[in-house]
Structure 1
Amino acid sequence: MYITITPQKLGANYSQSAADYVDYLEKENQLPGIEEKEQELFFNQEEDGISPEMVVKEIDANTAKLEKMEPKFYSITVNPSQYELKKLQNSSEALKQYTRAIMKDYSSSFNREINGRPINVNDIKYFAKIEHHRAFKGTDYQVRENQPYATKILELKNEIRKIERGEMQGSIRSREQQIINLEREAPHQQNGQRIAQGMLKDGKQSHIHIIVSRKDVSNSHSLSPGSKYKVSEVELNGKLVKRGFNRDDFFKKAEKTFDKQFQYQRNFVETYQARKDFIKSPKAYFSAIMGLPASEKALAIKMLRETGIPLPPVIPLSKAQLSVKLIKTIQKGILTASRSASIGI
């Protein structure tokens, strides 16, 4: 499970309204061939079938006393793995149930009180939407490693057009054959085609987008899951006031909620804590994998290879293989994959 929490983008080129983001979330409903009955609509804790217009209206109106450069909403993206989606049988209804369950985890992760009581899910104004497709991004390692081939192909296509216009001499047929060869030689392929930015990814790709208002449902209290204030207490007007949001707590709760709700047997490498350890101490991480029972170890290695992390040809399975050079190689690969959202930390 890979979960991200991102504040609204603000600046000269970004709207103060939620309209642009909501419009972005409608992109899948606008794909060719998508019938109305197949479209995914917005929902919240109690309601289904909410229109995008209503989402924009509700989020934009819930911004009392927020400064111009303060985020008016946060985006939460919930990305189940292929194994988790298989357990759910890629069901939209199951994903919807899970969303409503983890929004309870989200609310309970605030170290805040409203009128002397802990925050609960009824205090949160949010709208969620399920998507079933993903496209390769320019930051994905497959696209980046294919880029030299894409650049050369574009150059050859430009040359062909110039030859056709009589602006240069040369063989069109030779260049067309070079293009065919480059398409085949590109290191990352999907269904016999060179992976390029914008290409839809194969396999189950269902995920959840949640747009959460910065203010509570009463439009009176600011609820920020940002990292500016960690869980703490501060004195205000002579009283101790709780503040902050515990992201670690939320991510761990969301994981446990999935496992309990769907009776999912989580492998070591799928755990949030293990993925954190992966970045901090690869040596301890692989040592832990070595200690797993044989069947769990085999699945752990399989899952690890499927994450998209640029690992060395041989995954270290003995203490002798855990060299400093190898650890640095792995850490570099992890950082690269993290930046391209290939893994969730």
Structure 2
Amino acid sequence: MYITITPQTLGGAYSQSVANFVAYLEKENQGLEQQDMEHFFNQYGDEINTKDVIKEIDGNGAKLKKTEPKFYSITISPSTYELKQLQNSSKDLKAYTRELMKDYVTSFNREINGKPITINDVKYFAKIEHQRSYKGTDKQVKENQPFATKILQNKQYLRKIERGELTGDIGRLKQKINQLEKEAPHQQNGKRIVQGMHKDGNQSHIHIIVSRKDASNSVSLSPGSKYKASDVVMNGKKVKRGFDRDIFFANAEKTFDKQFGYKRNYAESYKAKKDFIKNPKLYFSVLMGLSKNEKAIAFKMLGKSGLPMINIPTNKVQLAIKAIKQLKRGVDIAIKSSSIGI
């Protein structure tokens, strides 16, 4: 599972309205019948109108400066393995979102009127999406780019021949273009992967818009706080502050596993990501210490995420010296794509 929390910006500045983001999240509904659309929802309501989403979020930023985020975007992207555990992507992810937001509020070290904040203290709206498109930064698009450039050059040459500006063998040129299309290393359903192409398979994921201010529009609740949960003394008074992302990410994973009976492999766990970042030797040691079946699953997961599969030394000394050097770069990519992101 991959989770990100980001403030929404527009041209380098914080967005003063959620309208553009809401419009962006409505893109999948275009051309669909009413019964096939995915609507905004929150903890207690379904099929919430986009106008109400904009009105509620935009009207809930009292005393916030233009240099401060008005709202945050939380994106939850379950892995292929996690999605297979669901019976109904829309229904199940909606139920999971509502449990996840309980984890969100408990990750704040804040109080409102002397009481810990609850789910009723946050204002959020969420939406399920089922499509993802390849971006220009994706590995598949970048590695196909040299072929895309040659194909474009040949197509431009072909058009000039067809207009009579140049002379050449049209049939041979078309054959060359077709050959380049087939030679591109990354294909999907027999076609070269290009920027904007929809990704194949189940791509269901969740977008959450959460207001920076609490539901009463009086208290600032920032998941982007640079402070972890801590107590400080300000003006002689003890004050609670901060948001613990570490706790949020770990609990988000646990909630999913409990809710859907998911048996999580070490390689896709939040603990694995932390181990890899803080102690690579421990990460590889635990990885190699898994049972035969679990180890096979782990390397299958990492392999699909971009890990260059090589012969892994089984000796712990070799593991610490050789394997880390050879695999660290590949596993770093795999970890980012298969685990909860920080």
Amino acid at match of 2:67: M
Distance 2:270 2:157 in 1: 50
SS of the counterpart of 1:62? Answer: coil
Q: Does 1:302 align with 2:300?
A: yes
Name 1:110's counterpart in structure 2.
Answer: 108
Q: Does 1:332 align with 2:329?
A: yes
Q: 2:227 aligns with which of 224, 229, 234?
A: 229
Distance 2:257 2:73 in 1: 23
Could you tell me how far 1:172 is from its partner in structure 2?
A: 2.3
Name 1:183's counterpart in structure 2.
Answer: 181
Instruction: Tell me if the contact between 1:290 and 1:317 (Cα under 8 Å) persists in the aligned partners.
Output: no
Would the alpha carbon gap of residues 100 and 205 (structure 1) be closer, same or farther in structure 2, given more than 3 Å must change? same
What are the Cα deviations for residues 141-164 of structure 1, in whole angstroms up to 9, with x where unaligned? Answer: 111111111111111111111222
Q: How does 1:1-345 map to 2 (within 5 A)?
A: 1-11=1-11, 15-30=15-30, 32=31, 34-307=32-305, 309=306, 311-314=307-310, 316=312, 318-319=314-315, 322=319, 324=321, 326-335=323-332, 344-345=340-341
Amino acid at match of 1:210: I
Distance 2:103 2:23 in 1: 27
Would the alpha carbon gap of residues 152 and 165 (structure 1) be closer, same or farther in structure 2, given more than 3 Å must change? same
Would the alpha carbon gap of residues 150 and 74 (structure 1) be closer, same or farther in structure 2, given more than 3 Å must change? same
> Unpaired runs of 5+ in structure 2?
none
Could you tell me how far 1:264 is from its partner in structure 2?
A: 1.4
Would the alpha carbon gap of residues 287 and 106 (structure 1) be closer, same or farther in structure 2, given more than 3 Å must change? same
Would the alpha carbon gap of residues 23 and 315 (structure 1) be closer, same or farther in structure 2, given more than 3 Å must change? farther
Could you tell me how far 1:286 is from its partner in structure 2?
A: 2.2
SS of the counterpart of 2:329? Answer: helix
Could you tell me how far 1:315 is from its partner in structure 2?
A: 5.2
Amino acid at match of 1:316: I
SS of the counterpart of 1:54? Answer: helix
Distance 2:334 2:269 in 1: 17
Amino acid at match of 2:170: I
What are the Cα deviations for residues 6-37 of structure 1, in whole angstroms up to 9, with x where unaligned? Answer: 1111446774110111111011111x5x3221
Amino acid at match of 1:183: E
Instruction: Tell me if the contact between 2:14 and 2:66 (Cα under 8 Å) persists in the aligned partners.
Output: no
What are the Cα deviations for residues 102-149 of structure 1, in whole angstroms up to 9, with x where unaligned? Answer: 100000000111111111111010000001111111111111111111
Amino acid at match of 1:332: R
Instruction: Tell me if the contact between 1:127 and 1:212 (Cα under 8 Å) persists in the aligned partners.
Output: yes
**TM-score, with length taken from structure 2:** 0.93
Would the alpha carbon gap of residues 227 and 326 (structure 1) be closer, same or farther in structure 2, given more than 3 Å must change? farther
Distance 2:334 2:162 in 1: 42
Aligned residue pairs, count: 340
CA RMSD of aligned residues (A): 2.0
Distance 1:86 1:330 in 2: 28
Distance 2:288 2:12 in 1: 51
Would the alpha carbon gap of residues 238 and 276 (structure 1) be closer, same or farther in structure 2, given more than 3 Å must change? same
Amino acid at match of 1:19: A
Amino acid at match of 2:242: G
Amino acid at match of 1:318: T
SS of the counterpart of 1:45? Answer: coil
Instruction: Tell me if the contact between 1:41 and 1:49 (Cα under 8 Å) persists in the aligned partners.
Output: yes
Distance 1:315 1:108 in 2: 44
Distance 1:155 1:281 in 2: 48
Instruction: Tell me if the contact between 1:286 and 1:317 (Cα under 8 Å) persists in the aligned partners.
Output: no
SS of the counterpart of 2:85? Answer: helix
Amino acid at match of 1:86: K
Instruction: Tell me if the contact between 1:90 and 1:206 (Cα under 8 Å) persists in the aligned partners.
Output: no
Distance 2:79 2:88 in 1: 11
**TM-score, with length taken from structure 1:** 0.92
